[in-house]
Homo-oligomer: A and B are copies of this chain.
Amino acid sequence: MGGPLSAIPGVAIIGCGLIGRKRAASLEGARLLACADAVPARAQELAGSVPGAAAIARWEDALLVPGVEIVIVATTNDALTPVAMAAVEAGRHVLTEKPAARTVAELDRLIAAARAHDRRVRVGFNHRYHPALLQARALVDAGALGPLMFIRGRYGHGGRVGYDKEWRANPELSGGGELIDQGVHLIDLSRWFLGPFTSINGFAATYFWDMPVDDNAFMTLRTEGGQCAFLHVSCSEWKNLFSFEIYGRDGKLALDGLGGSYGVERITWYRMLPEMGPPETTSWEYPRGDQSWSIEFAEFVEDIRQGREPNPGLAEAKAALEVVEAIYRRSGYLSGSRLPTPDSRR
């Protein structure tokens, strides 16, 4: 335990729903050895589709399967922290889905455990690895926009019949609604470009769905230097939408779409000229989908090999959860605190 990673690392996946299966399909250079799910059939189906993988009845046992070096936690939110903690305590490195925990307090326990056991924990803010975001990052780093001023983000979907009866609507399981679900992506992306937020304003509300968690959240986040992220997330957005606009003194980037029902992913660069007037405009589209899950996993393998701190990791998850919690607190939402049982994320 604690030695260098194998050439072909062994992986266990806890939570074999939609997300767990996507993770299993994005493990280039590694091999799935074990998987577990609260619904045994789901684990068996996944294991059956990967040579060498075994479905394990108890998730605690899956962590201990010999050769498992990396544990992917793709459960409902309530189980993310307990499973990740057990994994690091068993000496495994962990890739956990966002938000990594339902509360900051919960996350702090995982942070302590990871530090105590010297294990790497990466948090699945996979949006950073979408092609338009990678292109945005490269353009900003190259100075294409000059100093950044503010960001606008809109992210949402329209749910589906019965959405308010699913696990995300149950605060015990989810820790919250739309803000802790899609909101943490926008918060993380904004912080990635602007830096830490020292001023947090906004509110969450339940406008449409019949559920005790929020379905909309509006945020105005500011850095110490006064830069602003003006963000809205919604599961009453009706027409699926992802829009992320980054403004600098010298230009603007507009990102739209994430593929699939969110529309073709595209980034447009508006470059101001000294004489001002309409900006020079260049667009890139990514109709071939994203490799975000594969890139993210490969990055994690490199984190472990190089002994570097995953980014986004626990610090980034904590920063996002601090925003979430501040807004939930002032909006009158309470998050669940009871002991969870790990079910897979759908």
Q: Which residues of A contact B (CB under 8 A)?
A: 149-150, 152, 154, 158-161, 201-203, 205, 207-208, 216, 218, 220, 222, 226, 228, 230, 232, 234, 236-239, 247, 249, 251-252, 261, 270, 272-273, 275-288
Known: A150-B216, A152-B154. A226 touches B205 (CB 8 A): yes
**Neighbour of A230 across the interface among B159, B218, B237, CB < 8 A:** B218
- How many subunits of this chain does the assembly comprise? 4
A123 to B57, CA, bound (A): 54
User: Least Cβ distance of A190 to chain B in Å?
Assistant: 13
Let me know if B252 and A228 touch, CB within 8 A.
no
Let me know if B284 and A288 touch, CB within 8 A.
no
Let me know if B283 and A277 touch, CB within 8 A.
no
Let me know if B287 and A279 touch, CB within 8 A.
yes
Query: Of all chain B residues, which has the CB nearest A201?
Result: B201
**Neighbour of A282 across the interface among B159, B239, B251, B282, CB < 8 A:** B282
Main secondary structure of the interface of A (DSSP, over half): strand
| Interface pairs (29), CB distance under 8 Å | A149-B208, A149-B216, A150-B218, A152-B154, A158-B272, A158-B277, A160-B276, A161-B275, A201-B220, A203-B222, A205-B228, A207-B249, A218-B220, A218-B228, A220-B220, A230-B230, A230-B232, A236-B249, A238-B247, A238-B252, A239-B279, A239-B281, A239-B287, A277-B288, A280-B288, A281-B285, A281-B286, A282-B285, A283-B284
